[in-house]
Amino acid sequence: MTRPRIRVAAYVVRRRDITELLVFDHVDAPEAGTQIPAGGVRPGEDLEHAVLREIAEETGLATAVPVRQIAVEDSPHPGTGQPRRTTFFLLRAPADTLDAWSHRVRGDDEDAGLVFACRFVPIPLPQPLADGQDAWLDRL
């Protein structure tokens, strides 16, 4: 049996008058859909460190504070069918975080160099997230 790829995903919320979720779209690949920060865990890396790293790499946001783990989901990759185990985390962003910004992905992963359009959207979301990433929002 193939071991699952270990991943993390981040529900980064900002609270003002309403609760909002940090999402992003691929500027050059809108067909990828709206997503939350997520990605693979490096060998020996702590899950909480991995989720903070993914948020920083994919959005540039370095001020999110972990609150708690929300869920662990086993599901196949939508394109390859390979097994994945994703741990979803709830994190808080400061209320004065920008409403929207553009970010070029850093790091050495496959997303490096891509440009993501990041923004906060109200919960409940106006549309579903790509790859069923909104499955655990009711646990916030």
Q: What is the CATH number of the domain that holds 41?
A: 3.90.79.10
The per-residue DSSP string of 44-68 comes to T--HHHHHHHHHHHHH-----EEEE
Does a structural domain hold residue 135?
A: no
Residue 78 has which token pair?
A: 């939508």
Q: What is the DSSP letter of 35?
A: B
Does a structural domain hold residue 136?
A: no
**What percent of the chain is modeled with pLDDT above 70?**
99
Model pLDDT for residues 17-53, shown as the tens digit of each residue: 999 999 999 999 899 999 999 999 999 999 999 999 9
Containing domain of residue 104, as a range? 5-129
Does a structural domain hold residue 139?
A: no
Residue with tokens 């309403």: 18
Model pTM score:
0.95
Query: In total, how many domains does the chain have?
Result: 1
- Residue 48 has a CB neighbour count (10 Å cut-off) of 14
Does a structural domain hold residue 19?
A: yes
pLDDT tens for the chain, 140 residues long, are: 689 999 999 999 999 999 999 999 999 989 999 999 999 999 999 999 999 999 999 999 999 999 999 999 999 988 888 999 999 999 999 999 999 999 999 767 788 889 999 999 999 999 999 999 999 999 99
Q: Which of 122, 120, 128, 96 is nearest to 23 (CA)?
A: 120
Given phi > 0 = left and psi -120 to 50 = alpha, else beta, which region is 60? left
What is the overall mean pLDDT for the chain? 95
